[in-house]
Structure 1
Amino acid sequence: MNGTAIELRGVGKTFGRVQALHDLNLTIRAGELTALLGPNGAGKTTAIGLMLGLLQPTAGTVRVLGGDPREARTRTQVGAMPQESALPGALTVREAVTLFARMYPAPLPVTEALALADLLPLAGRRAGALSGGQARRLAFALAVVGNPAVLYLDEPTTGMDAGSRQAFWAAAERMKAAGRTILLTTHYLEEAERTADRVIVMNAGHLLADGTPESLRARVATSRVRFTSDLVLAELRHLPGVEAAGVDERGHAALTTRTPEALVAALVQSGTPFRELEVTRASLEDAFLSLTAQASPAAVSA
């Protein structure tokens, strides 16, 4: 699927004297799963509120599927799974999903929405009797039953067990394969790294970084190489490509490098005995922490 699903141009938002967003320019491509990340206070919630039509920008324009997100015809094409949902506790799971389905012009079949959320075995249970993870799955069913073209997921897997998380991400992948545009916010950065086509990092109301998980990891561009040997710190630092090195009293060395293959090859060629070799690449979390630690108001594009 090609084209633009969401577009923010020159968007600013103030709350009294607080400037929550500063001249934000952002385009979300149709058919992609985009992770919107940032520390608390970064402006993510405000940006999503604007995209949902719950807030009006102080400056600039917000377009969703080519229309005003506050208009009914746009809202009927949008689904949202907020971090906290007020569920109709007296209704059964099936009744709640059926009620929501009737609010949309072309909803999914209720049974399909329940299956996507792995809720068919719980369809007859009252919503108020669900566990925390089950309630999150119901919130997902309510978000997708309208058959949205754009789907917002705010901390979707909070409270879910490992099995429910796996089922949830399988459902999200099916939604994306069907051409839906998904915008995700999460503190589980390993989930964003594994599932997102694109990652956007915000900080203090500014766009800080925008790229694929791979391109953001490349900004850190370091791998960790760990092993145990008799090499002293000065010798470790002279291995090729070492950017930082440390060694403890038991000979456990920890090195960072942009060229782990060359470092390990040199270690082998040196003939120095070593054991317990471990090589790990920089993660999205490493990149996120590095980017936000060096936060600058200027937008950077990967």
Structure 2
Amino acid sequence: MTQGNEVLASLRGVYKRYGTLAALEGVDLDLHAGQVLAMLGPNGAGKTTTIGLLLGLLRADAGQVTLFGEHPQQLSARRRIGVMLQDAALPETLTVQELLRLSASYYPVPRPLADSAALAGIEDLLRRPYGKLSGGQQRRVQFALAICGRPRLLFLDEPSVGLDVPARQQLWDTVRTLVGEGTAVVLTTHYLEEAERLADRICVMLRGRVVSDGSVDALRARVLVRAVRCQSRLDVAQVRRWPGVRQAQRDGERLHLACDQVEAVVRRLLAADPDLSALEVKPAGLEEAFRDLTDPQPQAA
């Protein structure tokens, strides 16, 4: 995936309230061409509001939101984006190819129908009514509709929900292809492996603020948690209570720990179990890093 310097959309000092609830508090964010930005955060963090502002569905109370240098509600800007929302209400009686032709007609230079169908893996569904498709098939059609206009900026909201493994892999491959062509992608997902596989940048939001914005490796580096794995018969409930152990679980004969005092925990493991073997210490995964940023007082698993 390429790293782009061209800024396609931005938020500068943006505030948004719903009554007494502060949804966004001074958010700054840039979306770059040829880059996948994954937006992560717990429910209520401000992700949906941020995307609503970029799509022109909401107006900021303060600050500036631009889309291709224009106001997001300008038609000329909106014609350069594609959107795949988690919930989509589409006419169920229309066939897939009718939906694609209708959506493509809104754009100045759309993709040929066959190209959109191939990129989304729906060539065999074109003549079928949308309402007769399975949930996973409908998600693939929604993805085809999102990319049919050759968007320069693509919003994907939980895109792989309901997809089987081959369909998810094809979606990921297509996203990489589009990014290689210079498309910017904004990804919201609770599937952290998806973010880790696709994202050039991870933006973590919490209580209306951006608390981290950088690469996956940079996010991992912000936390002290490390993953410790070993083969041991130690009582997992007892290990959970050790100082420095954030999480502990057992998988057969293997212990899986998340620790923030690795050296002390490893010494205690070796002292408590002389037969311990297959010891591994690894940097925090994206899940551990995300949890560490969004849960200031994590509980042992």
TM range (shorter): 0.7 to 0.9
Is the 2:245–2:260 Cα contact (8 Å) retained in structure 1? no
For 1:147 and 1:118, the matched residues in 2 are separated by 17
* SS of corresponding position for 2:222: helix
* SS of corresponding position for 1:22: strand
For 1:57 and 1:185, the matched residues in 2 are separated by 20
Equivalent position to 1:79, from 75, 78, 82? 82
2:141 corresponds in structure 1 to: 138
Note the 1:68-147 alignment, pairs <5 A: 68-147=71-150
Q: Are the structure 2 counterparts of residues 229 and 166 from structure 1 closer, same or farther at C-alpha, using a change threshold of 3 Å?
A: closer
For 1:231 and 1:74, the matched residues in 2 are separated by 60
Q: Are the structure 2 counterparts of residues 112 and 247 from structure 1 closer, same or farther at C-alpha, using a change threshold of 3 Å?
A: closer
Q: Are the structure 2 counterparts of residues 146 and 278 from structure 1 closer, same or farther at C-alpha, using a change threshold of 3 Å?
A: same
Deviation at 1:243, TM superposition (A): 4.9
The code of the aligned residue for 2:25 comes to H
Equivalent position to 2:178, from 175, 180, 190? 175
2:16 corresponds in structure 1 to: 13
1:300 corresponds in structure 2 to: none
For 2:189 and 2:66, the matched residues in 1 are separated by 23
Note the 1:160-239 alignment, pairs <5 A: 160-228=163-231
Q: Are the structure 2 counterparts of residues 90 and 219 from structure 1 closer, same or farther at C-alpha, using a change threshold of 3 Å?
A: same
How many aligned residue pairs are there?
Answer: 285
Is the 1:231–1:251 Cα contact (8 Å) retained in structure 2? no
* SS of corresponding position for 1:220: coil
Deviation at 1:165, TM superposition (A): 0.6
2:57 corresponds in structure 1 to: 54
1:299 corresponds in structure 2 to: none
Is the 2:225–2:289 Cα contact (8 Å) retained in structure 1? no
The percent of aligned pairs where both chains have the same amino acid is 44
2:44 corresponds in structure 1 to: 41
The code of the aligned residue for 1:177 comes to G
1:282 corresponds in structure 2 to: 284
* SS of corresponding position for 1:60: strand
Q: Deviations over 1:148-193 (max 9, x none)?
A: 0000000111111111111111111111111100000000011101
For 1:54 and 1:293, the matched residues in 2 are separated by 30
Q: Are the structure 2 counterparts of residues 113 and 258 from structure 1 closer, same or farther at C-alpha, using a change threshold of 3 Å?
A: same
Where structure 2 has 5 or more consecutive residues not aligned to the other structure, the ranges are none
Q: Are the structure 2 counterparts of residues 189 and 230 from structure 1 closer, same or farther at C-alpha, using a change threshold of 3 Å?
A: closer
For 1:231 and 1:109, the matched residues in 2 are separated by 61
For 1:56 and 1:36, the matched residues in 2 are separated by 20
Structural RMSD (CA): 3.2
The code of the aligned residue for 1:289 comes to R
Is the 2:103–2:145 Cα contact (8 Å) retained in structure 1? yes
Deviation at 1:231, TM superposition (A): 9.4
Deviation at 1:255, TM superposition (A): 5.6
Q: Deviations over 1:80-127 (max 9, x none)?
A: 101101112111111110111111101111111111110001111111
The code of the aligned residue for 2:30 comes to T
Q: Report the TM-score when normalising by structure 2.
A: 0.84
Q: Are the structure 2 counterparts of residues 108 and 222 from structure 1 closer, same or farther at C-alpha, using a change threshold of 3 Å?
A: same
Where structure 1 has 5 or more consecutive residues not aligned to the other structure, the ranges are 237-241, 296-302
The code of the aligned residue for 1:189 comes to L
Q: Are the structure 2 counterparts of residues 78 and 274 from structure 1 closer, same or farther at C-alpha, using a change threshold of 3 Å?
A: same
Q: Are the structure 2 counterparts of residues 277 and 104 from structure 1 closer, same or farther at C-alpha, using a change threshold of 3 Å?
A: same
For 1:39 and 1:201, the matched residues in 2 are separated by 9
Deviation at 1:280, TM superposition (A): 4.3
* SS of corresponding position for 2:50: helix
